[in-house]
Structure formats: structure tokens, C-alpha cells
């Protein structure tokens, strides 16, 4: 018995131990706890850690930005992360099934699915571009090194000269570098070869978002490869992806370390790192800095996407998700800070050679990943090697997030239908979702694709996530009841949530989420891409995408209220908010206390009484039987001719 309890508390085995049987045989579990932690780290640590955080840090006061960043991590990031993990693990259901807690709010789950769909479509396009750059790096000379290519314009000016071949000798390299720098200084407007390669060759970008042009076949091919890789890794659900993450979640750290060591040994690297970290304490008083910190924490951890709930649903019931949430959240933020050193050491080196401030070469988003950083890599000896490593790292970072996005959709569909057939054929569902994702991503591989990609990135997963997360907190803490949820967590973990998390869940985190929403609205500016201003109709589409996930919440709530029993609206509303009878732990063995089925409780209470009554009946029957036997015995003794049942003292008489 003790061994069974101990096995229930530990989430599986550690590497080297024999594989344990799934606790939930119908749905499946992670092979062990490490698989869950690595998958969650891969989900949380994505492209934004590399191409967004370092830029936000230097723009918002360098080292001073770390203060609001870590405050927001403690008071908003970790509590929300723990809330979602405990929510999914307790019910062992995906982002739709968990809303048995309060069926009226199931629209929140549909909103999460819509957001994950949008992100999954455009995120894989970014991964496929990284695949394309990775393949193009398999050469002796990176194609974005010089300005002598058919796609280059007269404004192009390289940082390593204009030669047709890469000189191997240090002297020639230095000469060409000086010539390149001189050429840059003499030009009033410099366009780098990496920027022209990105715009005119990779994207062959059109002049307007409505001018789609032809599909870029190399990008389309890489998109097919990207979706095929994601499908293969999820072909057996968490059983297969749990093994893949041993590599995809850890190897990016190896690459980051290699690039960091190479970066800090370069001239000018220290200037770049100083630019990244030098605190400007006066900016701490700026509300915008706090808004950026809260937004970055919120979006970086992947809250309200549905992925955290889904990944935790495959945990064993007694897994310590409190400890996991702290480990994963801190790892995510530490990775962001570490990636900043890697990025700015190389950018500092590039700024040093161009004799310009670091701010002129710093960038974020696709501009950093596919323009600024690749250009800096051309300055290094054996530049194709560093380029291969960098883009391979981007691919792995992207795949880690993409695995969870796809699994979120598949799990939600399978849990919602719930038949034995669809559970057995989950691979078919995964393949269908992957094919649909590929087809929906095809327009993003056209000449106008980058416009649509950035539109989806800015609108599809912006303020809608904040609204979804806020409503989730309100539902769990105030509709379902904070006391009920605290008891649920205690039943699952063996200890109640710490007081700090109770206060954050009820008060602090919802206030911070509301602050993020207000900040997002106040700071809103229409999207632009370089000098291109998006037309009004495209912005309307962007807002429609953002609202499409939020509108699921009131629409489903009204539907649920209309279908709920009750004579008045108030009764219907009350019944729609009440937890479903099946809410609670998925397995019968864990449904104890208030989740124990009523029938079995009555049986348990009635069993001793029934046994007593049966015992009394048996005793009465035995007494009657004994009396009958005694009567028969006495009758036999008096059968010598007398029927007198009394004993006769004189036998001869």
C-alpha cells in the first residue's frame, strides 16, 4: 500500500528506472516528470525569448528593466502558471473539458482553441523560414554576405566589402572590412545585403498586403517539412513528443552557450553587453516600462493559450505541479536574460566594426532573426558554421512551442468527443489538424505573406489573451469559489496552496492582468512594417481575429443559459454556473471526500447495518432451529407409550 501511494506522488520514473504503467490507461500519462518539465520549458521558451526580450530590455532602461520584470514574474507570472497547471492536472482534461468546473464559461476554452489555432498557423511559417535559412547556410559562403547578387540594389552596402569570394587570410579580410566600413560612411542610406536578401530574395515582398502575388515555392516546401516534423514528433501524442523534447528543449542551451562564448571573445562585445545591461533608473518611474514588463512575462510564459492546461492534464494526479511551475517560470525568464547576452555581444561586435552606436544595429522580431544577426555572423570566420548553429537553435525553440500548440487542439477535440474510436485513432486527428494548419499557412508563403504574418502576430494573440486569462481567474476564484479550489489543490498535492498564491490568485494577479489590458489599449498604435502603413481594411481584419476568440465567451454563455433548466433567468444562470456532476479527478480512485459518488457512500454506510441485521436474523433462525431440535429430542425420549414431556422420576412406573 505504501509503495502504491509513493508511486502516486512521484510522477513516473527517473531515467534508468523501468517504465511504470500509466495511471490513466485510457488517456495516457507522461513517461516521467522530466518529460513534462522539458516539454513545458520548450513551450514557454520560444522565439520571443531571443528576438523580443533583449530589445525590450535595452529600450526600457537596460538593467533597470530587470526590476519590474522580476516583480511581474513573482506577482503575476508564477501564480498564473501554477493556476493553469493545477487546473489541468486536477481534472486531467484539456482546455475544453476542464470547464466542467463551471459549464457557462466553456467559451473561455473555445477562445483558447481559437488563439492556439492562429498562433499555430503563423508560428510554423516562422519556423519554416528558419528551416530555409538553415538549408541556405549549408555552403562555403553565406548568400547574404556580398552585394553582387542579382537581387541586390545600388543602395546595397556590405560590411565585409564587395568581393566575389571570401578571403581566407586575415590581412585581406581586414582590408575588405575597412573598405566596407568606408563605403558605409560615404553612403547616406545603407541597405545591408542581409536585408536585401530577406526582402528581395527570400520573401520577394510585394508592395501591398492585398497584392499576394505568387507562392514562394522554397518557403512552401519548408513549410511542408516543418509541419511533417511536428506531426512525426506528435504521432503518438505525449508518448512520442515526451522523448523528442530531451533534445529539442536542451540543445538550444548548448547552442546559446557556444554562441555566447564566441560572442564575448569578439572586439566590441563588451560595449554591446553594456548597452544591454547599463541601468537607466529614471525609466523605472515610467508606466510604459512596467507595462512592457508585465506584457512580456504574460506572453512569454504562454498563459491563456490552453497549452499549459493541456500539458498538465497528462500528469499523474499527485504530481507536484507547484514545484514544476516555479522551476519552469524561472527557467524561462533566465533564458531570456541569457539570450540577451548572446544577441548583444554579437551586435556590439558589429557596431564596433561599423563604427556606429549599438542602437543603429539593434532590432527585434524577424528583423533581428533574419537580418541583423545573420549580417553580424558574416563577420566571423567560418560564418556558415555559426549560421547553421543559430538557425538550428531557432528551429528547435520554435518546434518546442509548436508541439504544444498542436497537442492543445488535438487534445481538446479528442476529450470533447471522447469516444473509444477517436481515442484509439488520435493519430488521425493529429494528421488532420496538421494538414489543415499547413493549408491555412499557404497564404503566408506568398509575396504578401510577411504582412499577414505580422498582422496575426500583433492582433490574433494580443489583448484577447489578457481578457481570457482575467475571466479564467474570476471564474475559478469567485464563481467556483476560492475555498473549493484551495481544497481541490490540497487534495491533489497533499498541502494547500501557500498564502502568497492564494492572495495573488484572488486579488493581485487579476489586478495586474487588468493593468496589462488597460496598458495595451492606451499604448495601441496601428501596425506598420518598416515604412509600410497597413490599410484600414487590413486593421479591421486584425481586430476581427482578436475579437473572434473573445466573442466565444459571451456567445457560449448565452447558449448555456438558454439550455439550462429553470423557470426564471436567475435560476437558469445559477444552474449554468454550477459545476457539472462529473467535475473533479478523472479516476475513481482519486474521487474521495466530496467527490466520492453518493451511491458508494450510502453503500459504505449501509454495509455495517446490513451485516448486523443479517447477523441478528441468522441468530434468530439458529435459536428457532435449536428450539425445534430440543422439542424433537424430548418427543423421542417419551415415545415408550407416554406422550408426557415431563421427566419421570420413577422409570419402572
Going by the DSSP 8-state scheme, the letter that residue 580 receives in this structure is P
8 A C-beta contact, residue 385 and residue 393:
no
Structural Rg of the chain based on CA atoms: 33
8 A C-beta contact, residue 139 and residue 384:
yes
Burial class (CB in 10 A: 0-12, 13-18, 19+), 22: middle
Exposure string (b/e) for 342-371, b if CB count within 10 Å is 16 or more? bbbbbbbbbbbbbeeebeebbbbbbbbbbb
Cell triple for residue 532?
A: 509600410
CA distance 553 to 192: 47
Q: How far is CA 158 from the centre of its chain?
A: 39
Long-range contacts, stretch 572-580, CB < 8 angstroms, 24+ apart: 573/104, 576/103, 576/104, 577/102, 577/103, 577/104, 577/479, 578/102, 578/103, 579/100, 579/101, 579/102, 579/103, 579/480, 580/100, 580/101, 580/103
Q: How many CB atoms neighbour CB 321 within 10 A? A: 28
In whole angstroms, how far apart are CA 313 and each of 92, 494, 508?
4, 18, 26
Burial class (CB in 10 A: 0-12, 13-18, 19+), 256: buried
8 A C-beta contact, residue 39 and residue 58:
no
Burial class (CB in 10 A: 0-12, 13-18, 19+), 600: exposed
CA distance 25 to 588: 13
Going by the DSSP 8-state scheme, the letter that residue 262 receives in this structure is H
Cell triple for residue 31?
A: 513517461
Q: How crowded is the C-beta side of 317, counted as CA atoms within 13 Å? A: 23
Check the annotation: does 332 bind a ligand. Answer: yes
CA distance 577 to 559: 12
Check the annotation: does 300 bind a ligand. Answer: yes
Check the annotation: does 217 bind a ligand. Answer: no
Closest CA to 45 of 293, 403, 332, 334: 332
Burial class (CB in 10 A: 0-12, 13-18, 19+), 154: exposed
Check the annotation: does 301 bind a ligand. Answer: no
Q: How many CB atoms neighbour CB 506 within 10 A? A: 17
Cell triple for residue 70?
A: 522580476
**Sequence-separated (6 or more) residues with CB below 8 Å from residue 10:** 33, 319
3-state secondary structure 368-401: HHHHHHHHHHCCCCCHHHHHHHHHHHHHHHHHHH
CA distance 118 to 456: 7
Phi and psi at residue 644, to the nearest 5°: -70, 125
Check the annotation: does 348 bind a ligand. Answer: no
- Which residue shows C-alpha cell 513549410? 223
**Sequence-separated (6 or more) residues with CB below 8 Å from residue 405:** 116, 119, 120, 123, 305, 307
Q: How crowded is the C-beta side of 513, counted as CA atoms within 13 Å? A: 26
Detail the residues annotated as belonging to a binding site for Na(+): 42, 44-45, 49, 300, 332, 397
Detail the residues annotated as belonging to a binding site: 42, 44-45, 49, 300, 332, 397
Amino acid at each position: 500500500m505504501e509503495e502504491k501511494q509513493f508511486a502516486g506522488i512521484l510522477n513516473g520514473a527517473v531515467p534508468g528506472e523501468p517504465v511504470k504503467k500509466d495511471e490513466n490507461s485510457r488517456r495516457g500519462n507522461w513517461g516521467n516528470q522530466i518529460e513534462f518539465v522539458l516539454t513545458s520549458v520548450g513551450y514557454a521558451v520560444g522565439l520571443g525569448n531571443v528576438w523580443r526580450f533583449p530589445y525590450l530590455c535595452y529600450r526600457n532602461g537596460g538593467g533597470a528593466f530587470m526590476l519590474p520584470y522580476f516583480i511581474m514574474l513573482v506577482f503575476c507570472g508564477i501564480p498564473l502558471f501554477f493556476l493553469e497547471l493545477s487546473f489541468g492536472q486536477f481534472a486531467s482534461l484539456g482546455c475544453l473539458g476542464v470547464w466542467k468546473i463551471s459549464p457557462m464559461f466553456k467559451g473561455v476554452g473555445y477562445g483558447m482553441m481559437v488563439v492556439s489555432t492562429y498562433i499555430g498557423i503563423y508560428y510554423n511559417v516562422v519556423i519554416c523560414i528558419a528551416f530555409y535559412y538553415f538549408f541556405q547556410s549549408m555552403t562555403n559562403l553565406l548568400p547574404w554576405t556580398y552585394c553582387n547578387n542579382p537581387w541586390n540594389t545600388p543602395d546595397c552596402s556590405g560590411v565585409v566589402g564587395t568581393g566575389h569570394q571570401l578571403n581566407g587570410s586575415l590581412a585581406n579580410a581586414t582590408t575588405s572590412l575597412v573598405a566596407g566600413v568606408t563605403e558605409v560612411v560615404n553612403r547616406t542610406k545603407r541597405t545591408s545585403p542581409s536585408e536585401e536578401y530577406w526582402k528581395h530574395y527570400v520573401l520577394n515582398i510585394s508592395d501591398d498586403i492585398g497584392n499576394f502575388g505568387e507562392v514562394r515555392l522554397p518557403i512552401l516546401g519548408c513549410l511542408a517539412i516543418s509541419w511533417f516534423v511536428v506531426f512525426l514528433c506528435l504521432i503518438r501524442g505525449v508518448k512520442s513528443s515526451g522523448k523528442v523534447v530531451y533534445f529539442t528543449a536542451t540543445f538550444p542551451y548548448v547552442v546559446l552557450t557556444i554562441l555566447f562564448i564566441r560572442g564575448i571573445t569578439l572586439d566590441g562585445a563588451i560595449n554591446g553587453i553594456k548597452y544591454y545591461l547599463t541601468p537607466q533608473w529614471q525609466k523605472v518611474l515610467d508606466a510604459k516600462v512596467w507595462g512592457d514588463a508585465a506584457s512580456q512575462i504574460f506572453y512569454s510564459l504562454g498563459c491563456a493559450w490552453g497549452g499549459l492546461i493541456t500539458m498538465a492534464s497528462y500528469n499523474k494526479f499527485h504530481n507536484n505541479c507547484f514545484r514544476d511551475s516555479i522551476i519552469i517560470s524561472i527557467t524561462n525568464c533566465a533564458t531570456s536574460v541569457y539570450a540577451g547576452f548572446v544577441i548583444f555581444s554579437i551586435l556590439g561586435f558589429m557596431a564596433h566594426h561599423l563604427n556606429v552606436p549599438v542602437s543603429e544595429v539593434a532590432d527585434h522580431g524577424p528583423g533581428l532573426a533574419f537580418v541583423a544577426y545573420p549580417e553580424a555572423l558574416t563577420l566571423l570566420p567560418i560564418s556558415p558554421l555559426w549560421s547553421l548553429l543559430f538557425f538550428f537553435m531557432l528551429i528547435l525553440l520554435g518546434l518546442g512551442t509548436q508541439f504544444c500548440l498542436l497537442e492543445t487542439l488535438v487534445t481538446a477535440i479528442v476529450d470533447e468527443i471522447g469516444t473509444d474510436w477517436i481515442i484509439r485513432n488520435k493519430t488521425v486527428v493529429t494528421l488532420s489538424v496538421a494538414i489543415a494548419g499547413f493549408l491555412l499557412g499557404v497564404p503566408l508563403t506568398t509575396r504578401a505573406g510577411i504582412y499577414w504574418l505580422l498582422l496575426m502576430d500583433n492582433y490574433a494573440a494580443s489583448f484577447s489573451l489578457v481578457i481570457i486569462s482575467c475571466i479564467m481567474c474570476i471564474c475559478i476564484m469567485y464563481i467556483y469559489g476560492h475555498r473549493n479550489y484551495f481544497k481541490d489543490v490540497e487534495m491533489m498535492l497533499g498541502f494547500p496552496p501557500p498564502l502568497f498564491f492564494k492572495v495573488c490568485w484572488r486579488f493581485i494577479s487579476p489586478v495586474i492582468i487588468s493593468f496589462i489590458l488597460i496598458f495595451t489599449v492606451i499604448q495601441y498604435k496601428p501596425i506598420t512594417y518598416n515604412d509600410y502603413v497597413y490599410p484600414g481594411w487590413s486593421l479591421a481584419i486584425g481586430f476581427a481575429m482578436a475579437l473572434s476568440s473573445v466573442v466565444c465567451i459571451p456567445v457560449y454563455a448565452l447558449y448555456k443559459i438558454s439550455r439550462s433548466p429553470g423557470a426564471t433567468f436567475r435560476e437558469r444562470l445559477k444552474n449554468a454556473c454550477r459545476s457539472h456532476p462529473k467535475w473533479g479527478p478523472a479516476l475513481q480512485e482519486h474521487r474521495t471526500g466530496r467527490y466520492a459518488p453518493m451511491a458508494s457512500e450510502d453503500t459504505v454506510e449501509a454495509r455495517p447495518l446490513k451485516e448486523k441485521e443479517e447477523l441478528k436474523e441468522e441468530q434468530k433462525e439458529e435459536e428457532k432451529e435449536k428450539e425445534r431440535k430440543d422439542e424433537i429430542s424430548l418427543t423421542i425420549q417419551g415415545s415408550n407409550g407416554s406422550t408426557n414431556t415431563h421427566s419421570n422420576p420413577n422409570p419402572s412406573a
